[in-house]
Amino acid sequence: MKLTHRVSQVPASITLAVTAKAKAMKAEGIDICSFSAGEPDFDTPAHIKEAAKKALDEGKTKYGPAAGEPRLRQAIAKKLVTENQLNYQSENVIVTNGGKHSLFNIILTLIEPGDEVIIPSPYWLSYPEMVKLAGGTPVLVSTTQATGYKITPSQLRESITPQTKLFILNSPSNPTGSVYTPEELAALAEVIVASDIMVISDEIYEKILYDGAKHVSIGSLNPEIFSRTIVSSGFAKGFSMTGWRVGYAAGPIELIKGMTILQGHSTSNVCTFAQHGAIAALEGPQDCLQVMFDAFTARRVAMLEAVQAIPGLTCSKPDGAFYLFIDISKTGMNSLDFCNALLEEKQVAIIPGIAFGTDECIRLSYATDMTSIEKGMERLSQFVASIK
């Protein structure tokens, strides 16, 4: 069968493929340590599950509006106003099937064939593929460990052409854990406004910050950047709701209307009772977040210390999210060979940096239990020591 160029030009998602392989190996009884997908190991907090069960029992099992349950859109808008200083109303918000779907629909609604989209590299692996699926051209801008893997204002300015439509900013970042400071955001905002392009601010890791790092939404800086910002986020990472598939986008009403048309002809509404769970996540007690966050903080320290003790591996301290992005160049191996051999020989699943645009690195997620971290780090250490 001949598939369209649209689909055949993009590879499968490596994060999903490695994660599925690790889960299948575990189901076969293999003692595997998986640091693959960024998927918190915690159960979804009980009050969120109760709200979804109640919605089911009350018969909230029918079609709903394509843009989302009005109460959820309102709760999201309220959160964006109070927590992020973004002046949105319900009409500025659309509920999507997870953060990934939100990003895909924003890009499909804004990007025409020939349009360029600037993406700092290393990047989350689906950004460039989403742009290609929309017919656009990803423009990858290399960043290094020396600049904390952050794009500079001059790099952004130099990458903008008459075809540039969009810039994708992800802070806190997957895979590097970088968090942009308010000053850095202000300098980028100046370039965005002067060039009259739009920015997607992917804020899915906004609640996972360390060592005093603060999350600021670029759209909150001034009215000019606000009108050019589209926020994308979801409930998966912060509330441990990965399988629920509830995310959202917020931005100019015209864009949200366009995305609603797209959803009206593709997915329709997000699962109705899952949306009721999301309402409880926003309106219910927030102390569950602290419990998960405290665990991430301890795991980050444990994993970082273990990696720093392995000769040949270097890693900067991430300020946010739950990944370590580790430089393996001193081992002489490329990231794909490294990850394949580690899985084969030591049953440790991690993601090769090539998936994020950097073959010299590997990504480890520490959104998993401490026992797996201790065991997996010991195996990683033995593996690196065995490389000739």
Nearest to 199 by CA among 249, 235, 259: 249
Identity of the residue, 97 or 174, whose beta carbon is nearer to ligand GLU in the bound complex:
174
Identity of the residue, 156 or 175, whose beta carbon is nearer to ligand GLU in the bound complex:
175
Mention every residue, 6+ apart, whose C-beta is less than 8 A from residue 132: 9, 10, 138
* Nearest distance from C-beta of residue 229 to ligand GLU, angstroms: 21
Asked if residue 346 lies in contact with residue 380, where contact means CB atoms within 8 angstroms, the answer is: yes
Cα 224 to chain centroid distance, Å, stands at 26
* Nearest distance from C-beta of residue 25 to ligand GLU, angstroms: 17
Identity of the residue, 130 or 256, whose beta carbon is nearer to ligand GLU in the bound complex:
130
How is residue 326 written in tokens? 């580790």
Cα 181 to chain centroid distance, Å, stands at 18
Give the phi and the psi of residue 55 in degrees, each rounded to 5: -60, -40
* Nearest distance from C-beta of residue 367 to ligand GLU, angstroms: 9
* Nearest distance from C-beta of residue 324 to ligand GLU, angstroms: 13
Identity of the residue, 221 or 373, whose beta carbon is nearer to ligand GLU in the bound complex:
373
The residue ranges that bind ligand GLU (CB under 6 A) are 13, 15-16, 37-38, 100, 124, 126, 174
* Nearest distance from C-beta of residue 223 to ligand GLU, angstroms: 32
Nearest to 317 by CA among 145, 115, 192, 111: 145
Identity of the residue, 37 or 216, whose beta carbon is nearer to ligand GLU in the bound complex:
37
Give the β-pairing of 348-349 and 164-170. unpaired
Distance CA 96, CA 266 (A): 11
